[in-house]
Structure 1
Amino acid sequence: MRYYPTFLDMRGKRCLIVGIGDVGRRKLTSLLAANPEEVLVLDTFLFVEIADPELKELLSHPAVTYQHRPFVSSDVQGRALVFACTGSRTVNETVARACDKRTVLCNVIDAPDEGDFIVPAHFDAGELIVAISTGGNSPALARRIRMELQEFVGNRFSRLVTLMGRLRPLVLARGAETGHNTKLFRNIVGSDLMDALQDRDRGRSETILTELLPQELHPHIGELLHELV
């Protein structure tokens, strides 16, 4: 199967995780990092006290609503994403059917084909997120590729990503033609600026930006480099 790659803005979104075992915990941790409005977590194993202090802390997050009870189909109403993470094939299938009926995106941990999306192997390096998928053919291979890429990437792009995030709105505010902006951005990322930032070489970084940026953006070079070099 070939999936459509995308990154989702979860701000203001409501989500659901059914099952809070090891897999559910990982899903909740990564989901909370995206700042959703609310995550309803259903623990379908009734009356089981949670002893793990780290899990207790995770479930006490302000965006988390934690409930001990069975899943009901109406739980998926109004949810942007749903994760079926229980150890029960029957429960996970029920969750998937409820989502399909209401056109809600669902991830089914033990039967990916029953759901609408998978969560790729990924890693963060500052504001950079790298995701890898084998189309569900081999999560183990995706994990290996992730580990090798993570070792290669390290934090070498982190400062450049931050700077580009500061620069982009300044460039777009100029109202220049899209092709001109594209060329400017490509010239910057293709320059030696990344190495200069990595070396914390302020003089070299300023020289590169002065040469590449339009004259009217030169006064912003100080704020672009703030705390990066």
Structure 2
Amino acid sequence: MRYYPIFVNLENKGCLVVGAGEVGKRKIQSLIDSGAGRVTIIDTREPGPEFDSVTALPNVDFLCREFADTDLDGKFLVIACTSSEEVNWRISNLCRDRGILCNIVDQPEKCSFIVPATVKRGDLTVAISTAGRSPAMAKRIRKELQESFGDEYANLLTAMGRIRPLMLSLGLTTADNTAVFRSLVNSALLDALKGHDLDAATEILKESLPDPLHDNIPELLDGLV
């Protein structure tokens, strides 16, 4: 199967995780880190003390009981990682009938979406999928990418995020803005950030940015080099 790659906005969305074992805990944390509006967790075991920081969050509900069909009410996305084949199939079928996004961990045949291996550097997220054929290969590629993409990529994205509204405020043409943005990402700014070279980064911005933004360069680089 060829999957359609997509990044989903979970803000103000209700998410459900059934099964809070080691895998479930990672899935729960990933939903929280992605800004899920409300995360409901269901497990037949009481959460251990290591889970206190998660269950204390105002947008997290922990229910110590068996899964019930009504738990799907109002949910946008569901992840199941239980040891019960019956429960996993039940959740999968119910989500399919209701049009709810569903992931059954390590069982792609029961999923409407699969979770790719990812490399994250600040606002940069690189996702790797093998269409469920080889999670081991996806993990290998992720490891290689982790070595290739350092924190300088996160810093460059932060700088670009600061520059963009200032550029747009100048009222230049789309072509002019595009030329500046392309110049920056293809310049040596990434190397300057990686080497914590403030002078080089400053000079590159002076060469690339319009004159009215030169006074903003110190704040654009604040905390990045």
Give a deviation string over 1:132-187, Cα, whole Å, max 9, x none. 11111100100011011102223231211111111122223334443332222111
Inter-CA distance 2–181: structure 2 relative to 1 (3 Å threshold): farther
Distance 1:110 1:179, change over 3 A: same
Judging changes above 3 Å, is the alpha-carbon distance between structure 1 residues 100 and 65 closer, same or farther for their aligned structure 2 residues?
same
Per the alignment, residue 99 of structure 2 pairs with 103
Structure 1 position 73, deviation (Å) = 2.1
Q: Out of 26, 47, 54, which is 1:50 matched to?
A: 47
Query: Does 1:23 pair with 2:19?
Result: no
- Residue 30 of structure 1 deviates from its aligned partner by 0.9
SS of alignment partner, residue 5 of structure 1: coil
**More deviation, 163-172/175-184:** 175-184
Q: What is aligned with 1:206?
A: 202
Contact (CA 8 Å) 1:18, 1:24: kept in 2 or not?
A: yes
Hey, what's the Cα distance between the residues in 2 that align with 1:214 and 1:69? 61
Question: Which residue in the other structure is 1:227 paired with?
Answer: 223
The two structures, once aligned, show a CA RMSD in angstroms of: 1.7
CA contact (8 A) 1:13 1:79 kept: yes
Partner of 1:33: 33
Letter matched to residue 181 of structure 2: F
1:134 — aligned with what? 130
User: Which residue matches 1:5?
Assistant: 5
Q: Corresponding residue for 2:67?
A: 71
Distance 1:15 1:150, change over 3 A: same
Contact 2:46–2:64 (Cα < 8 Å) also in 1: no
Gaps of 5+ in 2: none
Q: Give the Cα separation in 2 of the matches to 1:111 and 1:203.
A: 52
> Matched residue of 1:55: which SS?
helix
Q: 1:32 to 1:204 in 2, by over 3 A?
A: same
TM (norm. structure 2) is 0.92
SS of 1:144's partner is helix
For 1:4 and 1:116, the matched residues in 2 are separated by 11
Q: Tell me, in whole angstroms, the C-alpha distance in 2 between the residues paired with 1:118 and 1:170.
A: 38
Distance across 1 between alignment mates of 2:46 and 2:75: 27
- Deviation per CA, 1:37-63, whole angstroms, max 9, x where unpaired? 2100011x2xx3333x32233233222
**SS across alignment from 2:152:** coil
Q: Could you tell which deviates more after superposition, 28-37 or 152-161? A: 152-161
Q: How many residues align structurally?
A: 225
TM normalised by structure 1 equals 0.90
Alpha-carbon distance in structure 2 between the residues aligned to 1:106 and 1:6: 14
Distance 2:46 2:112 in 1: 32
The aligned amino acid for 1:96 is S
